[in-house]
Structure 1
């Protein structure tokens, strides 16, 4: 396994680092506004920083998944919520490339990669949470299309132009009889409601209600009744990306903390000379390095066409927990200064915390790992 960036990867990573430096000062303002500027999305798109792994004919650059991960980590150093644009863009873009009709993918994938539009993904529901394989939302055939009834929770609910949603089309039981659809969110019968979240407010999470919403037959993704199985495969990719997203936020916080403890003095000495402060930060460096390698290995496996579901689940539960623990330690290492809201530490702590919940909890990820480690009859 070789994770060293080649020349093409290095150009992409450098472009992401430039964007990160540009967006970092406005990180608190985006939270206050509750949105990510469309102009920023389009700037990212113009630099090839949204779903770059998609093929050229769909607006991508044919990059490796590993490159996409490194881009995600760099952007998250400046603003973790802006990195969501890239993570969701890659997740949705790959789903469209794999399951959408050619004309639907050709319309929407380039709009995602350019930053022109956001396309959200509605898998879970306010009343179901982790039980995504048992949706209450339904879709029935009518008038050469489908009529949707129900509610979905999703990031970018308040700002997306369209969403991929999962609905029950036949009563076959958990994980079966579920079909995926692309739904334009300006259609009749759609209402959006924001969530008053603790963090990641710039991504505009919320609920989207569908009341008799009709969509054309061409908007179905993949085979009827096979949506859960077909589309869930894309989450192995996004779980590794999320791991690098939160690690980017943690790494920059750790670097700021090393600098702070090297310049702040107590008892006539820099704080970093006290082992009680330096050793926890040394442990944090080790944990972040290990988590990063796990995420990079997962993306390397994807690039190599090898199974990586188990590793992706490891990324999703361990990286957010590690990132949260590291940022928490950094906040404590700053003392009272870390508790102030004029530094980005507390905001990063809240933002990273959300990804210990969203896109698959630690318990669900450990269930996935268990089921890939022992025979099904022996797994939890």
Structure 2
């Protein structure tokens, strides 16, 4: 495995570090406003910090997937929710680059990479979160296009200009007959409803209702009936990015906790001199280092053109759980001060918790791992 950081990657990492320092003081305000400033998105895009692994011809930077992960981790140190712009940008950008018609890809991908627009992804539904292979949303052909009916739950629902959505275009068994579409969210028949989430509020998650919503034929992504396969391939990438995203939030919290316990005293000694304080933090350093390496290995496998579905599933269930446990321990290590809402720890705890749910629960990820480790008939 080669995790060498070349000059180009280092330049992107340095830029992400600077952005993280800039955005950290505004984390609480973004949560209250429930929005990420569009100007901040454009700044990130100008620096090449959104989906840099995409081709330069489409607005990317021809970088490695590993670079994309490094960026996500660093930005999340400043604000986990801002790192969503990069993670969703890479996920959707790769789907469009792989499956959209050339005229659609060339129109939308540069908008994503520049930060000019957000394009969300609508896979989950209010009645079918984990069962992505059985959507109730439908698309029927009409007037050289398609008419959509149904509801999707998605991040950036309140702010995105468009969304990649998945709908059933023909009846069949689970996972079959599902197609993907790019839908501009200013079309007739679309209504957005904000979700009262306990965390990651700045990403504007919500429900999007599609009622007799017509889109042109060119908005079909890939071949008819292949949408489920398309999205599963995309999530292999985004799951590793999410792993590094939550690790970034946990690592900065751990760094702050080492500093706090080194200056706070009890019984005339720094807190960090007590084994009961230092050992849990040392364990946290170990766990985060291991989780980071797993995510980096997964991205290296992708860059090398090797299978990485199993490793991506490991990233998605283990990294968010580890990050949550680490932040929780750090909160306890701060004592009463960690419990205050004017400190960033409690917000990070809530934000990371959401990623134990979104983009695949631990139970689904373990099912994926089992089915890629033993014969399918022997797995759950």
Partner SS, residue 164 of structure 1: strand
Cα deviation, residue 158, structure 1: 0.2
Cα deviation, residue 232, structure 1: 1.6
Which residue pairs with 1:85 in the alignment? 85
Which residue pairs with 1:137 in the alignment? 137
4+ long deviations beyond 2 Å? none
Query: How big is the alpha-carbon RMSD for the aligned residues of Structure 1 and Structure 2?
Result: 0.4
Matched residue pairs, number?
380
Counterpart-to-counterpart distance in 1, 2:377 and 2:266: 58
Which residue pairs with 1:357 in the alignment? 357
Cα deviation, residue 2, structure 1: 1.9
**Which is worse superposed, 187-196 or 4-13?**
4-13
Counterpart-to-counterpart distance in 1, 2:377 and 2:71: 40
Q: Which runs of structure 2 are paired with 1:317-328 in the superposition (5 Å)?
A: 317-328=317-328
Which residue pairs with 1:304 in the alignment? 304
Counterpart-to-counterpart distance in 1, 2:224 and 2:352: 36
Counterpart-to-counterpart distance in 1, 2:251 and 2:229: 35
Which residue pairs with 1:219 in the alignment? 219
1:46 aligns with 2:39: no
1:277 aligns with 2:277: yes
Counterpart-to-counterpart distance in 1, 2:143 and 2:160: 26
Which residue pairs with 1:11 in the alignment? 11
Counterpart-to-counterpart distance in 2, 1:283 and 1:226: 44
Cα deviation, residue 56, structure 1: 0.5
Which residue pairs with 2:189 in the alignment? 189
Counterpart-to-counterpart distance in 2, 1:17 and 1:4: 18
Counterpart-to-counterpart distance in 1, 2:138 and 2:318: 34
Partner SS, residue 13 of structure 2: helix
Deviation per CA, 1:108-163: give whole Å up to 9, x if none: 00000000000000001011110110000000000000000000000000000000
Which residue pairs with 1:56 in the alignment? 56
Which residue pairs with 2:267 in the alignment? 267
Counterpart-to-counterpart distance in 1, 2:231 and 2:130: 16
Deviation per CA, 1:245-292: give whole Å up to 9, x if none: 000000000000000000000110000000000000000000000000
Cα deviation, residue 342, structure 1: 1.1
Counterpart-to-counterpart distance in 2, 1:198 and 1:241: 22
Partner SS, residue 196 of structure 2: coil
Partner SS, residue 9 of structure 1: helix
Counterpart-to-counterpart distance in 2, 1:347 and 1:222: 39
TM-score w.r.t. structure 2 length?
Answer: 1.00
Cα deviation, residue 230, structure 1: 2.2
Counterpart-to-counterpart distance in 2, 1:378 and 1:342: 50
Cα deviation, residue 4, structure 1: 2.6
Cα deviation, residue 173, structure 1: 1.8
Cα deviation, residue 360, structure 1: 0.2
Counterpart-to-counterpart distance in 1, 2:379 and 2:256: 42
1:178 aligns with 2:178: yes
Q: Which runs of structure 2 are paired with 1:94-133 in the superposition (5 Å)?
A: 94-133=94-133
1:240 aligns with 2:240: yes
Cα deviation, residue 204, structure 1: 0.3
Which residue pairs with 2:159 in the alignment? 159
Deviation per CA, 1:280-338: give whole Å up to 9, x if none: 00000000000000000000000000000000000000000000000000000000000
Cα deviation, residue 231, structure 1: 2.6
Partner SS, residue 314 of structure 2: helix
